[in-house]
Structures are given as structure tokens and as C-alpha cells.
Amino acid sequence: MFKPARQAARTGAVIAEALWAAGVPRDALRLVSLAATSGGDEGAIPAQTGTRSGACPSFGGDEGAIPAQTGTRPEACPTSGGNDDAIPAETGTRSEACPTSGGNDEAIPAQTGTRPRDLGSRLIADPRIERVILTGAYETAERFRRIRPDLPLLAETSGKNAIIVTPSADLDLAAHDVAYSAFGHAGQKCSAASLVVLVGSVADSERFRRQLLDAVGAYRVADPWDESARIGPLIAPAEGKLLRALTTLEPGQSWILEPRQIGDATWTPGIREGVLPGSEFHTTEYFGPVLGIMTAPTLDAAIDIVNAVDYGLTSGLHSLDEREIDRWLARIEAGNAYVNRGITGAIVARQPFGGWKKSSVGPGTKAGGPSYLFALGSWHDADPAGADPVPASNFAATARRILRIADPADRDWIAQALASDEAAYTGEFGRARDVQGMSVEQNALRYVPTPAIVRFEGGREAELLRVVAAAIRVGAPIEVSAVALPSAPLRELLIDSGITLRIEDAARWSTRVAGLAEARIRVIGGSADPIARASNGSPRIAVWAGEVTRAGRIEALPFLREQAVSITAHRFGTPRRYDIP
Ligand SMILES: NC(=O)c1ccc[n+]([C@@H]2O[C@H](COP(=O)([O-])OP(=O)(O)OC[C@H]3O[C@@H](n4cnc5c(N)ncnc54)[C@H](O)[C@@H]3O)[C@@H](O)[C@H]2O)c1
Ligand SMILES: N[C@@H](CCC=O)C(=O)O
């Protein structure tokens, strides 16, 4: 008889899902090894070598930076959580190989006599640990930062994901995709749909409700080793908020499908309607087989409901109206945006994975995407290999002005940085790229300019100018905080570019940081420590404090959020393509 893998059985994953999930680490490792071994002379280098050894196209071909000697291997156990955490694990799979990722919390390794979780906490607290990658709840990221407020943390965290269904949707397909997205993996996927928002007439559509109940009713709930099972048990018996979500309704809500407990940790799916904006069910991640139905009069009102949640991991739209798709793509706040399909099952490279807002902690570069490895290294500035001096006439007006502002001694350096910014923009950041070019599904990775603060603590003014140039090139709305007044030409550039300048000494800066709810901060000439202290290690504050390099591929990252867009590009086999902006 076919036996599910040991890990799969421990997570409760049913066979079909376990088989699919088993391929994900393999794809991620293939992507990493491609990045580490490809040849050429574009410039980026695996972090662990610290030597300039050739190119790595999937690193983006960085002219202008070499990694600092960190000795950090992406696959090294304590910092990365072992191979299980090189990409987000499905359904809370515990890694036995690596104490930081949990292991079996009760087992005490003979050689240490320490419980894995205690050991994990001690590793996190140890300053010799340079970085930690976490796939887990936002609250766990908070816990890690309480243990060590200055911990460099790359965390893929919680989600409260919704699918919007408009009257122009194919309601049968929408019902099928909502059902699978909500109840696949028993809802224990960070990407799972927890809400469906029905727009206009869909709110009253008997057909949609019937199809949804039909689809969910077809899922057999059983042990994972039953080959016909479509929904398996939870990873552990439901307790706390999940138990509440499976058993208790809020005012105005009713079950259209009431969940039933049929085993220690096994529940049949639940669907509740009447979920109101601002209610607990609207905003709380439960991580289990329970779906809430909300309604909205218009698409914009539905998007408001979805964006009101603190998380922004996956999000879905079912609509066959191109204007609605455009509108949703322009407004939706989520790292993975899915149109006319389910919202789970991201494939490495095809739908690089990772969220916005509270769904991500740290640099936010997507797992399985072209920038993920950049965040695992530290970078030194370096001469772009074989680069000729760049004539000023090659640049557009703003870049020429930046060149003129630069001190003559720094002009070549700035020119190389501007050229690198341009190459990074045209090659990567400035367009939605579909690297796999499938005909039945469009999958584009795009970059959205995002607000950030540039904090200048000291050093060469050219470094501030260079970082500001990177932000301007990608169109990010930044502000600058400096300990001392920059030169008049730089101040004028900031004013003309609509960039607020604040002069703040260390005390004022710390006070402001303490009051920031969330921020992305690029520190120049200082360290991340004062920010960690002032914010008590808030996971909502992401800091880039590395050396300023000429590499546009690296320097633009604080100013951009990645979004993976995936759109079903056929209808019953007939191709139908969209312009993804
Ligand atoms: N965004 C993503 O890519 C993604 C992927 C999967 C899961 N998740 C999220 O993870 C949560 C569910 O998964 P989970 O139950 O594994 O999450 P969790 O946060 O409970 O645990 C994550 C890991 O951290 C470990 N851990 C917790 N406290 C620790 C400590 N003090 N020291 C050392 N290790 C510690 C756990 O043992 C576990 O391995 C959900 O919130 C889900 O959305 C996110
Ligand atoms: N990458 C997975 C989610 C990982 C979290 O559980 C997906 O896209 O469904």
C-alpha cells in the first residue's frame, strides 16, 4: 500500500497534498543551486565565499557590490532552520534537523539535555547567530524579538486571506476555488482562504451558496493514510482561537455548514455567514478549516474590507471583467495576488511567495523569487567588473542633476551607481516579468514602490545622495532624516523631488522611532541597534543598515515591495490574456 511520508503523516497532510508539497523544497533548492553555480560575468556572488567568483544571473547580476564575509550559508541549520525552512513549510511542518525551527518540542536531545524550544530560544539570544529565518505566526516573530530585540529576522508570517467574488465571475469556478483554497490542508496553510467577500448580487446568489456547499461536501474528511481523504486532521487538537472559530458564532453570524469534531484533531469544514467588518472573524487568523462569508455592495467596498486586515499574504479575485481585474490589481494589498484561480499552492519561481504588512518581517524579499538570496548576505561596495566610465549624457535629467551635485571626488562612483540603478530598473524592477511564459496562466512578478525613511547618521554625503538616487529611480515616496544639515544642492534636490527632510539628533530620532507603527528604514553610517532599542524590536520595522554600494539591484530593495500576480489565462481552454501593469 502507498505510505505517506513520515513528515506528511505528522502534519496530517493527505496524500495528494503531501506529494505536491514534497516537490516544493526540491524546486527551491534547485533555484538556489542555479543561483550559486551559473556562470557569466554579471557580478553577484554566493554569500558564503565572499570572493568575486563569477556571475549569478538569478541574483540579478549586480555590478557594484560584493558580499561581506559572513560565512552564513543559506542552508546552515541554526540560521535558516535547515532545508525545511529554506522555503515556507506547509502546515506548520516541524523540522527535526534544526532546533530553531522547533523540532519535537517535548523530546530532549541526549547530547544536550536541553529541550529544543529552550535551545532554540538560547540560539536566538546568542549574538553569534547572524540571522534567523522563521516561517510561523506573527506572534512567534514577536516572541523571537522579545528574546532579542536586535535579531536580524527574515520571517514569513500569518495571513488572513480573502477571495472576492463579483457578479461578473464564473460562479461555479469561483465556488470550486474558494472551497479548495479554504479547506485544502484542512485550512492549515498560511495562504488559505479564510474569508470570501461576495459583491452585489452574488451576496444573494443561491447558486453560489449551493455550489460552494456542493464542492465542500465532496471533500472526504479522513486520516491521511486513507487515499480518498481530501481533508485530514489538524496538526494538533484545536484550542484557543481556533477552537473558538470552530464552535462559537459572533452576533449576527450563522452557520451555513457547521463544523463537527469527528476525531481528536479532526474537524469537518465550517462555513459561517454574516461576518461583519471589524468583527473578530474578519481580522483574526485561525489557521484551520473554517471560512467566513462577508458581503459588499461594490468591488471597491470589498477591497476596503480585505485591505482593512493587518495581514497581506495571499488574496484572490474571481471576475471576468477586465476593468475589475485592473481595479483590484491597482488596490489590493497582498504579496501574492491570484485572479480566477485558487489562492494556495505557490510554485517556486512561478509565484514567488511572501506577504506584505504583518505577513512578513524583515526585508520582505520573496521565497522562491529572484531577490531572496540578497537578504541572506551582507554586501560590500565593489568596482563594477569591466565597467567603463559612464558619460553624463547617458543619463536622464534627474540623474544628471544628481551627478552635478556630487563632490567631484565622488562623481565616477555616483555615475557607476546611477548606471547600475538604470540597469536594475530596466532589467528587473521597472516591469512585471513573467519568467515562465505559460500560455494557460500568466505569472508576473512586479515591484511596487513603497514608503521608506532614509536615516543618515554620518559618513560621505555621496552615500546619502546615492541612496536617495536609488529611491528616486524606482519612484518610492521616501523621507530623509539626518543628524546634520546636508549641503544646499542636496537639500534643493530633496525639495524638488517632494522628499521631506528632518534634522534629528539621536534622541529625537529614537523618540520618533518609538512612535512608528511600521516603517522601512535604510540607515547610512550607523547601525540598526538604536532602532531596535527604540522600537523594542518591533517586527513591523524593517531596517537595512549595510554598507552603501553602487549596486542598484541591492540598493533599491528597501524601496520596493514585491507582488506575485497569477491569472488564469484561458476560459474553458480558450486563451485570454491580460496586460499586467
Ligand atoms: N507566510 C508564510 O510563508 C507561512 C507559511 C507557513 C505558516 N505560516 C504561519 O505559521 C503559523 C502556523 O505555523 P506554526 O504552527 O508552525 O507556527 P508557529 O509560529 O507556532 O511556529 C513556527 C516555528 O517556530 C518554532 N518556535 C516557536 N517558538 C519558539 C521559540 N521560543 N524558540 C524556538 N522556536 C520556536 C516552532 O516550534 C515552529 O517550528 C500560521 O500563523 C501561518 O500563517 C506562514
Ligand atoms: N507556499 C504555500 C504556503 C505556505 C504556507 O503554509 C502556498 O502557496 O500555498
Is the pLDDT at 138 greater than 80? The verdict is yes
Query: Could you say which of 1.10.3470, 1.10.1740, 3.40.50, 1.10.1200 is the CATH number of the domain covering 387-436+449-560?
Result: 3.40.50
Looking at domain 161-352, which CATH architecture does it have? 3-Layer(aba) Sandwich (3.40)
The least confident of 167-176, 314-323, 384-393, 423-432 is 384-393
Within 8 A by CB and 6+ apart from 468, the residues are: 402, 454, 478, 480, 490, 493, 494, 497, 499
Identify the nearest ligand to the CA of 355 by its number. 1
Triad 563, 296, 138: Cα angle to 5°: 45
The pLDDT assigned to 318 comes to 98
The whole-number average pLDDT for the span 127-152 is 96
Q: For 377, list phi and psi in degrees, rounded to 5.
A: -120, 170
The pLDDT assigned to 152 comes to 95
Cα–Cα distance between 369 and 352 in angstroms, integer? 5
The segment(s) of the chain belonging to CATH 3.40.50 are: 387-436+449-560
Which amino acid is located at 385 in the chain? A
11 close to ligand 1 (CB < 6 Angstrom): no
Q: Catalytic pick from 63, 156, 463, 555?
A: 156
Burial per residue of 185-199, b for 16 or more beta-carbon CB atoms within 10 angstroms, e otherwise: bbbbbbbbbbbbbbb
156 close to ligand 2 (CB < 6 Angstrom): no
The predicted model scores a pTM of: 0.88
Q: How many residues does the structure list for the chain? A: 581
Task: Choose the residue to mutate in 344, 348, 372 for probing ligand 2, maximizing ligand atoms within 8 Å of C-beta.
Answer: 344
**Ligand 2 centroid – CA 39 distance (Å):** 31
The pLDDT assigned to 102 comes to 35
The whole-number average pLDDT for the span 416-440 is 94
185 pLDDT band, cuts 50/70/90, is very high
The whole-number average pLDDT for the span 300-308 is 98
The pLDDT assigned to 186 comes to 96
76 pLDDT band, cuts 50/70/90, is very low
Alpha carbon 436 to chain centroid distance? Answer: 20
The whole-number average pLDDT for the span 283-296 is 98
The pLDDT assigned to 67 comes to 56
159 close to ligand 1 (CB < 6 Angstrom): yes
408 pLDDT band, cuts 50/70/90, is very high
| Residue 441 annotated as catalytic | no
The pLDDT assigned to 113 comes to 59
The segment(s) of the chain belonging to CATH 3.40.309.10 are: 161-352
